[in-house]
């Protein structure tokens, strides 16, 4: 371990956490919680086991939690104090440990304001009969669900006993739960075990009316009964995906790859919780055209979950490598052309993000300095797509076979640990000392905007789609390509200018069947064109879409587009007031700021 590694593994290093590693480090978490749907809270106990005994103050992260008591393993009360709220950081829980304390038991409850948890009323679910709860802990929301060291630097195993209504199913980022009798005749206790250490942001819980379908010996899909059939169809090829991923990265390291399709309010495309990925229902296009999002979450099993960014300043280590890994799997499954089309769509979204931030914005760098900044507020495609281009550049310079071996060594060296950008740099430079200057590594990592040596993806099909889009933009009678697959259609729509005339909008809608598609990516791109072009025929569809979808990738740009144009600005405001209660707290926080500007 280098001096740099040692420095970063000591003391308070994470700008988004009160964690001070000099005070101690959690080794295992035990949860004993009751799910109260009436009050919309979790309440019970969290038992924290540390690597070694300690004494004196230890600081934990909390936000919107009610702390009732702290005591030792033998039941003796332990002193504690909680600070005032410090914005997105929440409240510091300082516990004063007697000499030799290795275990702390904290009796607590969440509140309805806890940002990690979304409580859905029955009418907000597909079935409409039972309530639903799900968590979303990334990036720094675990502290509003459990008092702990909420930093990727700290990894722990966990067990849990979750008491739920008997008619509902509980799932966690752990081995499938074992159901035991609950404390009352109408309840059940579900017991979970996660034997592999994870960072706090990968802690996950969902409770609702769910059923499951086994897709292979190690893969199972959970969903509400109304969506289980379509979910099982959409992701039927998961075992093939896992097998291809193993060819590239080695044996799957988490035993099971189960996943749950969430209700529409889920704010992201997917969340890579190990052993239980969460997915948005917007992926259920009916033609498996959006299954690549599941490929992304699968790839996280190696890059992100196994080797984890030290802090949110190093987020590109999680996401840049994972987008690269996702597209490598996609290439093996669907061919090089699909890889290039996906990379092109990514490059388009990156260009838009850089334009939105500004070329010189520090948020366009891979290695960021987010001290004092809420990570949710600057979440973007930069760590994903700029990170992908950087990893792809390394692959091109080294050669695919050699780079694949390098990635396997990298994963094996740092598995089940959290590393900084500097640690990755040192590891790469040790393997390829002559390349860092040639590829302008420092400019890529710390520079803003996009370096001039970024990979460019070219193909005859890409040229055809771009030329067709350019021709249609100039002449509404120009032919629109026929028989476009969903990915090609997204590339074609992305190549069009946002501003078209009414006749062009009508032709697009009719020829491509845009009012009939089940592909949410295509629908969102089409709605952005229609809103910018003043094609108000789609506004009722947009309203329905925004009422049915909580994924920030779609709701944020659509509300922004509506707000931007004078003829739809009032609709944006009234629609958001009507719908915001149904969005996840994370999405609400982002959208509140957007709508207030």
**What ranges make up the beta strands (E) of 3-40?**
26-36
The gap from C-alpha 261 to its chain's centroid, in whole angstroms, comes to: 14
Q: Reduced to 3 states, what is the DSSP secondary structure of residue 28? A: strand
- Given the residues 224, 234, 297, 395, select the one marked as catalytic: 297
How far is Cα 182 from Cα 33, in angstroms, rounded to an integer? 12
Is 384 catalytic? The answer is yes
- For the chain, report the end-to-end CA distance as a whole number of angstroms: 47
Alpha-carbon gap, residue 407 to 287, rounded angstroms: 33
Q: CA nearest 147: which of 69, 81, 84, 61?
A: 61
Are 364 and 454 spatial neighbours (Cβ–Cβ below 8 Å)?
no
Phi and psi angles of residue 147, each rounded to the nearest 5 degrees, phi first:
-75, 120
As given in the structure block, the two tokens for residue 425 are 């740099």
86 as an active site residue: the answer is no
Give 46's strand partners.
31, 106
Q: Which residue has the tokens 């390098």?
A: 406
Q: Return d(Cα 522, Cα 493) in angstroms, integer.
A: 8
* CA 420 – CA 425 distance, rounded (Å): 9
Q: Can you tell me the distance from the alpha carbon of 78 to that of 2, in angstroms, rounded to the nearest whole number?
A: 38
- Are 184 and 166 spatial neighbours (Cβ–Cβ below 8 Å)? no
Those residues whose C-beta lies under 8 Å from the C-beta of residue 130, and which sit 6 or more positions away, are 122, 165, 167, 168, 208, 209
C-alpha pair distances (Å), 257 with each of 144, 174, 238, 303, 330: 26, 10, 9, 15, 18
Q: Which residues pair with 104 in a beta bridge?
A: 48
Given the residues 268, 384, 410, 432, the one annotated as active site: 384
Rounded distance between C-alpha atoms, residue 75 and residue 490, angstroms: 60
Question: What 3-state DSSP class applies to 413?
Answer: helix
Among residues 58, 54, 149, which one has the least CA distance to residue 102?
54
**CA 137 to mean position of chain CA atoms:** 9
What's the rounded Cα separation, in Å, for the pair 582 and 271?
Answer: 19
- The Cα 373–Cα 312 span in angstroms is 10
Pairing status of strand 417-419 against strand 307-309: parallel
Type and span of the H or E element at 426: helix 421-431
Contact 549, 558 (CB under 8 A): no
Please state, in angstroms and rounded to a whole number, the distance separating the CA atoms of residues 201 and 17.
12
DSSP codes of every residue in 76-133:
-B--EEEPPP-GGG-EEEEEEEEEEEEEEEEEEEE-TT-TTEEEE-GGGSSSSSS-EE
Q: Is the dihedral of CA 304, 398, 401, 429 positive or negative?
A: negative
Q: In sequence order, which residues have a C-beta less than 8 Å from that of residue 234 and are 6 or more positions away?
A: 283, 284, 285, 286, 288, 290, 291
Distances (CA, A) of 390 to 168, 343, 344, 396: 45, 12, 15, 10
Catalytic residues: 297, 384
């Amino acid at each position: 371990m280098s001096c740099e590694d040692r420095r970063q593994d000591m003391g308070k290093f994470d700008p988004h956490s009160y964690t001070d590693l000099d005070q101690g480090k959690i080794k295992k978490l035990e949860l004993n919680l009751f799910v109260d749907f009436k009050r919309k809270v979790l309440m019970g106990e969290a038992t924290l086991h540390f690597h070694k005994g300690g004494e004196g103050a230890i600081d934990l992260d909390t936000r919107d939690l009610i702390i009732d008591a702290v005591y030792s393993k033998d039941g003796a009360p332990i002193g504690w104090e909680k600070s005032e709220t410090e914005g997105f950081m929440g409240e510091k829980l300082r516990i004063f440990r007697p000499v030799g304390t290795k275990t702390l038991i904290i009796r607590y409850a969440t509140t309805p304001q806890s940002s990690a948890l979304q409580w859905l009323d029955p009418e907000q679910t597909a079935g409409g009969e039972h309530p639903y709860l799900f968590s979303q802990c990334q990036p720094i929301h675990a502290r509003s669900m459990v008092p702990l060291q909420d930093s990727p630097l700290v990894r722990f195993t966990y067990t849990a006993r979750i008491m739920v209504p008997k008619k509902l199913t509980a799932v966690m980022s752990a081995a499938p739960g074992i159901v035991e009798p609950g404390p009352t005749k109408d309840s059940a206790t579900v017991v979970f075990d996660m034997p592999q250490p994870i960072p706090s942001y990968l802690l996950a819980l969902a409770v609702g009316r769910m059923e499951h379908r086994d897709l292979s010996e190690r893969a199972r899909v959970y969903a509400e009964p109304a969506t289980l059939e379509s979910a099982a169809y959409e992701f039927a090829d998961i075992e093939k995906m896992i097998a291809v991923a193993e060819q590239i990265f080695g044996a799957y390291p988490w035993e099971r790859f189960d996943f749950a399709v969430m209700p529409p309010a889920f704010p992201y495309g997917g969340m890579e919780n190990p052993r239980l990925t969460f997915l948005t229902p917007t992926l259920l296009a009916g033609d498996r055209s959006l299954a690549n999002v599941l490929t992304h979450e699968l790839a996280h099993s190696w890059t992100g979950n196994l080797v984890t960014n030290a802090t949110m300043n190093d987020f590109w280590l999680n996401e840049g490598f994972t987008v690269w890994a996702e597209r490598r799997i996609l290439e093996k499954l669907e061919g090089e052309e699909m890889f290039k089309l996906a990379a092109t769509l990514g490059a388009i979204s990156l260009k838009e993000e850089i334009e939105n931030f500004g070329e010189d914005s520090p948020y366009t760098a891979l290695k960021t300095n987010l001290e004092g900044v809420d990570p949710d507020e600057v979440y973007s495609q930069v760590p994903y797509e700029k990170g992908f281009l950087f990893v792809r550049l390394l692959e091109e310079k080294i050669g695919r076979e050699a780079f694949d071996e390098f990635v396997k060594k990298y994963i094996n060296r740092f598995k089940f640990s959290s590393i900084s950008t500097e640690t990755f740099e040192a590891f790469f430079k040790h393997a390829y000392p002559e390349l860092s200057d040639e590829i302008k590594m420092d400019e890529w990592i710390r520079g803003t905007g996009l370096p001039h040596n970024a990979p460019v993806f070219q193909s005859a099909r890409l040229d055809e789609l771009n030329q067709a889009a350019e021709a249609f933009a100039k002449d509404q009678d120009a032919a629109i390509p026929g028989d476009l697959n969903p990915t090609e259609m997204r590339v074609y729509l992305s190549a069009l200018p946002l501003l078209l005339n009414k006749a062009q909008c009508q032709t697009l809608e009719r020829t491509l069947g845009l009012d009939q598609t089940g592909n949410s990516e295509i629908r969102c791109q089409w709605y952005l064109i229609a809103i910018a072009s003043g094609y108000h025929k789609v506004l009722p569809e947009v309203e329905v879409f925004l009422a049915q979808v909580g994924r920030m990738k779609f709701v944020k740009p659509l509300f922004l587009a509506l707000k931007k144009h004078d003829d739809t600005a009032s609709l944006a405001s009234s629609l958001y007031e009507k719908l915001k209660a149904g969005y996840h707290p994370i999405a609400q926080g982002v959208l509140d700021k957007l709508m207030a500007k």
